Amino acid sequence: MGIKETDVLIVGGGPTGVTLALELAVQGISFRIIDKEPRRSDKSRALGVQPRTLELLNRHGDIRKLIARGNLSSGTTFYLNGKKAADIDITGLARNTAFPLMLIISQVNTEEYLDECLAKYGFAVERGIEATSVAQDSDGVTAILSNQDGVEETIRAKYAVGADGAHSIVRKSATGLTFQGAAYPQDFILCDASIRNAKIPWDRFSLCMGKGSLAVFPLKDGTCRVVVSRVQESNADVEPTLDVFQDMLNRLHPGAGELYNPTWITQFHLHHRGVNSYRDRRLFVAGDAAHIHSPAGAQGMNTGIQDSINLGWKLAKVIRGERPDSLLDTYDRERRPIGQNLLESSDKMFTWGCSTNPFFVTFRNLIFTWVLPWFVSSENRRANIYKFISELGISYKDSSGVGTAPGHSGSIVGGDRVPDRKIQSAGNEKYFLELLTPDTYHLVLLSGVDDNAATKDAILEAQSKFENDKSNGAKVHTIFSEKFDAATIPGYTDIGNRLHDDFGCSKPSYVYIRPDSYIEHIGPLSELKGLSKWLRSYDSKP
């Protein structure tokens, strides 16, 4: 049998790997995605899908279908020594997104949604196939794949991406990558079960601290996830039973309800590790292959999904010869700081919430009695933590691959997330991000507001320039302020001029948006020639 060829080999068929497959599929890049497990796990595993992830996955299919299968979380309730200490309410904190709340849902459902999206493009994960060898050279990657019967095949790819978790063979095959970190000393137990006589709110989760720590996540259909960090003197060798969870629930969250009919009980330890680079020539790592950490903040799966969304379009551009190989270096430069910040922040949250040091626990419980109510009393403080947890605050503004033109004074700059607001055309409303398909770049022209608005001729000239320039391949969209007379120009009206406000563009402006819905370049319409110069300089960018 001859050697089969493809552009990209994706090793790992979890959320990170399937998301990368989606990004490559929509770009028309050939790939194979394999997973050594013969079938998907039926365990709930990762539960939280953050607002930014919901926005980005909505580019491939109606994310509301997934939302309907889970619970939207409006916040968190804290308990100290069995007594309610504070509520963090996040409703109303995000006004420029269609999906302001975290979705609590089993990873089983998330994977089903991703598989359904991939099937629409005509692809599926090849299951029961393991990569037993991965070797790169200057021209590509050679991998040996083995099925469950031991039958081997050799595949040749331009690039390989490890989305295969903490024990990634792709990472281990890359001579330049290290995976530094350690295990946490705590012993954790987890239970998914039904709950009766429940007095827990179903639209938020509970974090309980005292002698030990406990978290309760409400799921659909009267079930919940209970996670317990046991204290040092507990017998970690004893298999956990439902009674152990009920006892902890009674002590740290009294009156929460009665657990019954468990579907999953397990015991585990946590690690925190990070890779020194996300790229080693033709090998890349993403998700748990690049970073593993505590589940504090529900960031892990989301970060892996967004790793893939950052990498996918870049691979496509380089494979098609539209951008130099150096574009792929920006994957590491943009995503590794996100992963490192996640490791550090989740470690701090984990230390405060799950410490087993009795002196620290006593100190924590004492000061949290007044610190938590003080913290949640400020909308600004709640907004800052929400911006981080929701991942809506992720920015690549320090990347060499983004820019901001002279004269732009708005707070949103090149590298920032594109805000979302309602727009209207012919009486039909939709969200702005629905225009931004993941297959290409987008040039958005903002008319400006009131006396600062552009003339019709200026708008038409800008539209024509980019629509006629097939080399950049960008789709052009025009967004008019509410009072702009745009009867003869195709485009959308900015309801309440909120997009103009968010972008900080009261004057006519342009926004050049990448396929991953981050801003590559932004500036006044008068600087549009500068954007053209920026695009022509791609080959010289690092």
Specify the pLDDT at position 302.
Answer: 96
- Mean pLDDT over 104-128 rounds to 97
- Mean pLDDT over 94-115 rounds to 96
Q: Is the predicted pLDDT of residue 259 greater than 80, yes or no?
A: yes
Residues 195, 145 within the same domain: no
| Residue 346 located in a structural domain | no
Specify the pLDDT at position 539.
Answer: 59
Specify the pLDDT at position 355.
Answer: 78
Specify the pLDDT at position 73.
Answer: 95
Residues 478, 490 within the same domain: yes
Residues 387, 518 within the same domain: no
Residues 160, 288 within the same domain: yes
Portion of the chain with pLDDT greater than 90, in percent: 75
| Residue 95 located in a structural domain | yes
Specify the pLDDT at position 235.
Answer: 57
Q: Is the predicted pLDDT of residue 374 greater than 80, yes or no?
A: yes
Residues 49, 119 within the same domain: yes
Residues 366, 488 within the same domain: no
Rounded to the nearest angstrom, the gap between the alpha carbon of residue 214 and the centroid of all alpha carbons in its chain is: 25
CB 194 within 8 A of CB 19: no
- Mean pLDDT over 257-276 rounds to 92
Q: Is the predicted pLDDT of residue 247 greater than 60, yes or no?
A: yes
Which of the four pLDDT bands, split at 50, 70 and 90, describes residue 541? Answer: low
Cα separation of 387 and 507, whole Å? 27
Cα separation of 208 and 195, whole Å? 17
Range from 232-241, 245-254, 369-378, 454-463 carrying the lowest mean pLDDT: 232-241
Q: Is the predicted pLDDT of residue 321 greater than 80, yes or no?
A: yes
Q: Is the predicted pLDDT of residue 538 greater than 80, yes or no?
A: no
Residues 420, 518 within the same domain: yes
Rounded to the nearest angstrom, the gap between the alpha carbon of residue 478 and the centroid of all alpha carbons in its chain is: 28
Work out whether strand 422-425 and strand 442-446 pair parallel, antiparallel, or are unpaired.
unpaired
| Residue 367 located in a structural domain | yes
Which of the four pLDDT bands, split at 50, 70 and 90, describes residue 471? Answer: low
Q: What is the 3-state secondary structure (H, E, C) of 177-238?
A: CCEEEEECCCEEEEEEEEEECCCCCCCCEEEEEECEEEEEEECCCCEEEEEEEECCCCCCCC
Q: Is the predicted pLDDT of residue 505 greater than 60, yes or no?
A: yes
Torsion of CA 74, 80, 86, 87, to 10 degrees: 10
- Mean pLDDT over 460-468 rounds to 81
| Residue 389 located in a structural domain | yes
Cα separation of 444 and 422, whole Å? 15
What residues make up the domain containing 290?
A: 4-70+105-179+275-335
Helix-, strand-, coil-residue percentages of the chain, each rounded to 5: 35, 30, 35
Specify the pLDDT at position 351.
Answer: 74
Domain at 289, CATH number: 3.50.50.60
CB 39 within 8 A of CB 170: no
Which of the four pLDDT bands, split at 50, 70 and 90, describes residue 475? Answer: very high
Residues 238, 287 within the same domain: no
Q: Which amino acid is at 498?
A: R
pTM: 0.95
Which of the four pLDDT bands, split at 50, 70 and 90, describes residue 467? Answer: confident
Q: At what angle do helices 329-354 and 300-319 cross, to 10 degrees?
A: 180
Say which residues have a Cβ less than 8 Å from residue 391's Cβ, sequence separation at least 6: 50, 51, 52, 53, 299, 302, 303, 306
Rg for the chain, CA atoms, rounded: 25
Q: Is the predicted pLDDT of residue 231 greater than 80, yes or no?
A: no
| Residue 137 located in a structural domain | yes
Which of the four pLDDT bands, split at 50, 70 and 90, describes residue 354? Answer: confident
Residues 18, 139 within the same domain: yes
Domain at 97, CATH number: 3.30.9.10
| Residue 286 located in a structural domain | yes
Specify the pLDDT at position 1.
Answer: 60
Residues 377, 407 within the same domain: no
pLDDT (tens digit per residue) in 136-179: 999 999 999 999 999 999 999 999 999 999 999 999 999 999 99
Q: Which two tokens mark 235?
A: 């017998």
Number of domains in the chain: 3
- Mean pLDDT over 325-335 rounds to 97
Domain at 519, CATH number: 3.40.30.10
Question: Could you tell me where the beta strands, DSSP code E, fall in 400-542?
Answer: 403-404, 422-425, 428-431, 442-446, 475-480, 492-494, 509-513, 519-524
Residues 363, 314 within the same domain: no
Cα separation of 75 and 87, whole Å? 7
Residues 418, 463 within the same domain: yes
pLDDT (tens digit per residue) in 520-537: 999 999 999 888 888 888
pLDDT (tens digit per residue) in 18-55: 999 999 999 999 999 999 999 999 999 899 999 999 99
Q: Is the predicted pLDDT of residue 330 greater than 80, yes or no?
A: yes
| Residue 295 located in a structural domain | yes
